Amino acid sequence: MRQDRSLLAILVFAVVYAALSLTVTNSYYQLMMTLVLVWATMGLSWNLLSGYTGLVSFGHAAFFGLGAYTVALAQNYFGLSPWISIPIAAVLGGIAGLVVGLPTFRLRGHYFALAMLAYPLALLYVFEWLGYQEVSLPMERVHPAAYMQFSDGRIYTFIALVILVLVMLVTRRVERSRFGLALMAIKQNEAAADAAGIDTLGWKLRAIALSGMIAGGIGGFYAVVLLVVTPIAVFGMLVSAQALTVAMFGGVGTVWGPVIGALILIPVSETLHAELGAWVPGIQGVIYGCAIIAVMIAAPEGLFWTLRDRFFKRAPAAAAEAPPPSPENVVAWSAQRPRRTVGDEVILDVKGLSKSFGGLKAVQDVSFQVRKGMILGIIGPNGAGKTTVFNLLNGFLVPDTGEVLLNGRNIVGRKPHQLCAMGMGRTFQIMRPFQRMTVADNVLVGAFVKAATDEEARRLAADAIRRVGLADHADEIAGGLATRQLRLMEIARALAGQPEILLLDETLAGLGHGEVDDVIAVIRRLADEGTTIVIIEHTMQAMVRLVDHFLVLDHGAVLVDGEPEAVTRDPQVVEAYLGKKWGAYAHN
């Protein structure tokens, strides 16, 4: 239903725009209508990579310029019509995306943005060095239409509109598929996405290739519109900036943002230039800049999101707080910890695991076993190496020595998303929900690793949501959830990947007293249903009621390994790390 509506919106937009362009007879306004579409498409290209993955690119001019030069040079040297060379330009843009992406994705954040900045600048000099300072597309007098040359400017607008609508449909499809969810997951937390089974490098490469294709194609079309290609005009900083500006202004991470941005910014900038340029030369830039600053202050996430939040806000989630799952059980469990029977089958076998960071021995010779169906609690003071152990287990870090056997197979050296596919799920100490996505979509991200089809993924996600007791909240936006629900949602995301063993990193942190009991109840039920659980915590109180077995770490080494009763009575543990109070609690 929602999908149909958004498709309809795109079609309505296209029809209205086409109808509007039919009524425009002034060739200057026609050119403007074409350029709006060109820059909207370029903004969408930028958005596809940077908007969804959050990896800001200052270098989209590289793809754009390659496309423009492909079309210009193909016509000059091979007499190739833009009808053929624009698709070629798109393919070349895609290849350029891969070539750029492979080395550059090793960088993150600002470093990625800066590295991207270098590509168009380098290409600019390369094309100057090659002697292509000015390339003009020859005027075809015999068969102009065969070379995409029309005296009626509206035809350019229609071609641009077809390209834009295609790109919008592609973007929309990406947004709604596992591709888009993977990119959004990368944007929120690349590590978490990796741990949730997403092949982050693979998806990022696909994104930059597709983005490069779009930029290359529209760059080729731009050459047809401008008819003159110069390095500055197509590789210049302004091109990258324009793509970024329309997307940021309109709203990133949505198909409509760049379109809205281009619809407003391009005509405004041009009108200012036309009206004020000859009057007070240069004043147009000042006014334009100030207007952008003002709008960005008022709508920092872009117009689309700000307007949507204002006019289409969903009912706040907190209003209808659902009761915690199975309250009667919670009471029983918190009263006393029933003994659970755990099988003998060892699912995870850790042998002599060590990891140093320079001189700091974060983990030293840690060995332990996890049996199927067990809840293992790893405790220890801050800095004891608990999270490092998790990072070694799920592949974020490679141990210096030791091995980790998952169902008898050594998994050292494998990537997090591969381990996730092998059945190692994990959550994080610091929650990174995908704020703007619904609970269902948040969990869906974790389901793709095990699901062949989107259909199956949705089923797995729904199942995971049900298991943690969030079924009533499935359609709410994650940004509106309470901490307890977010913790449960994170567990559900890990669960959706059908893990055999689930690593929970401080899942109970930051929860109130009653909330801890709710979450404990859920974890116990998961264990009862057959999921093996390893949980890190430094608060002892909740753990003694939850786990079957304790592993106490200190300074990266195992201090005690044993049953809760034994551990909590161990004077070493009690006095040095936990305090006498907790020991007394365990005795009761």
Partner 1 sequence: MNTKTCGASRRAVLAAGLALAASAITGEAAAQQPAEVKVGLLVPLSGIYSRPGQVMRMGAEMAVEHINAAGGIKALGGAKLKLVQIDAGDSTEKAKNAAQRMVAQEGDLVAASAAYLSSFTLAVTEVTERAHLPVLTLSYSDLITERGFKYVFQTSATAAAQAETALPEIMKLAEATSGERPKTVAIITDNTAASVASVKPMKERLLKQYGLELVVDETWTPPLADATPLVQRVRATRPDMLFFLPTVISDAKLLLEKMNEFGLAQARIPVISFGIAVAEPDLLKNMSPELLQGVMTVVGNWGSKGHEALIEELRNKYDEPWMTQNAISTYGDMWIIKEALELAGKADKEAVAEALRSMDLTSGPTKYFPGGRMKFDDKGRRVDASFTIVQWQDGLPVTVYPPDLAMAKAFWSKK
Which residues of this protein are in contact with partner 1, per CB under 8 A? 26-29, 31-32, 35, 125, 128-129, 131, 133-134, 136, 138-139, 141, 151, 226-228, 230, 232-233, 236, 238, 270, 273-274, 277-278, 281-282, 284-285
Checking phi first, is residue 322 left (phi over 0); if not, alpha (psi -120 to 50) or beta?
Answer: beta
Between 277 and 562, name the residue whose CB sits nearer to partner 1.
Answer: 277
Q: What is the DSSP string of 76-117?
A: HHH---HHHHHHHHHHHHHHHHHHHHHHHTTS-HHHHHHHHH
- CA contacts within 13 A on the Cβ side of 374: 23
Q: From CA 267, how far away is CA 34, in angstroms rounded?
A: 11
Where do the H-state alpha helices sit in 177-236? Answer: 178-188, 190-195, 200-226, 231-235
Q: How near is the Cβ of 93 to partner 1 at its closest, in Å?
A: 19
Between 267 and 480, name the residue whose CB sits nearer to partner 1.
Answer: 267
Q: How near is the Cβ of 155 to partner 1 at its closest, in Å?
A: 13
Between 229 and 501, name the residue whose CB sits nearer to partner 1.
Answer: 229
Name residue, tokens 């600019």: 124
Buried b / exposed e across 288-320, counting CB within 10 Å, b at 16+?
beebbeebeeebebbbbbeebeeeeeeeebeee
Q: From CA 254, how far away is CA 576, in angstroms rounded?
A: 53
Q: How near is the Cβ of 69 to partner 1 at its closest, in Å?
A: 14
Between 285 and 510, name the residue whose CB sits nearer to partner 1.
Answer: 285
Between 121 and 378, name the residue whose CB sits nearer to partner 1.
Answer: 121
Q: How near is the Cβ of 119 to partner 1 at its closest, in Å?
A: 16
Between 8 and 22, name the residue whose CB sits nearer to partner 1.
Answer: 22
Between 64 and 550, name the residue whose CB sits nearer to partner 1.
Answer: 64
Name residue, tokens 């499809």: 173
Between 237 and 405, name the residue whose CB sits nearer to partner 1.
Answer: 237
Q: How near is the Cβ of 273 to partner 1 at its closest, in Å?
A: 6
Helices H / strands E in the chain, number of each: 26, 12
**Nearest partner of 55 among 194, 199, 196, 184, judged by Cα:** 184
Q: How near is the Cβ of 252 to partner 1 at its closest, in Å?
A: 24
Between 110 and 141, name the residue whose CB sits nearer to partner 1.
Answer: 141
Between 236 and 433, name the residue whose CB sits nearer to partner 1.
Answer: 236
Between 8 and 130, name the residue whose CB sits nearer to partner 1.
Answer: 130
Contacts 24+ apart (CB under 8 A), 386-391: 386/505, 386/536, 386/538, 386/553, 387/429, 387/505, 387/536, 388/355, 388/362, 388/363, 388/556, 389/353, 389/363, 389/553, 390/426, 390/503, 390/505, 390/534, 390/536
Q: How near is the Cβ of 108 to partner 1 at its closest, in Å?
A: 30
Cβ proximity of 507 and 487 under 8 Å: yes
Between 138 and 579, name the residue whose CB sits nearer to partner 1.
Answer: 138
What's the token pair of residue 508? 């109970």
Between 62 and 208, name the residue whose CB sits nearer to partner 1.
Answer: 62
Cβ proximity of 552 and 559 under 8 Å: yes
Q: How near is the Cβ of 263 to partner 1 at its closest, in Å?
A: 17
Type of residue numbered 137: L
Between 270 and 505, name the residue whose CB sits nearer to partner 1.
Answer: 270
What's the token pair of residue 202? 């693979």
Cβ-Cβ contacts under 8 Å for 475 (sequence gap 6 or more): 438, 439, 440
Type of residue numbered 39: W
Cβ proximity of 573 and 559 under 8 Å: yes
Q: How near is the Cβ of 495 to partner 1 at its closest, in Å?
A: 52
Q: From CA 141, how far away is CA 135, in angstroms rounded?
A: 18
Cβ-Cβ contacts under 8 Å for 583 (sequence gap 6 or more): 568, 569, 574
Q: How near is the Cβ of 439 to partner 1 at its closest, in Å?
A: 45
Q: How near is the Cβ of 70 to partner 1 at its closest, in Å?
A: 18
Q: From CA 425, how far away is CA 499, in angstroms rounded?
A: 5
**Nearest partner of 239 among 122, 65, 115, 114, judged by Cα:** 65
Cβ proximity of 493 and 446 under 8 Å: yes
Q: Which strands form 409-410's sheet, in the order they lie side by side?
A: 360-371, 346-357, 401-406, 409-410
Q: How near is the Cβ of 472 to partner 1 at its closest, in Å?
A: 53
* Residue 50: Cβ within 10 Å count: 27
Cβ proximity of 521 and 326 under 8 Å: yes
Between 24 and 91, name the residue whose CB sits nearer to partner 1.
Answer: 24
Where do the H-state alpha helices sit in 301-421? Answer: 303-311, 327-335, 386-393, 416-421
* Euclidean distance between the first and the last CA atom of the chain, given in angstroms as a whole number: 56
Q: How near is the Cβ of 135 to partner 1 at its closest, in Å?
A: 8
Q: How near is the Cβ of 120 to partner 1 at its closest, in Å?
A: 14
Type of residue numbered 161: L
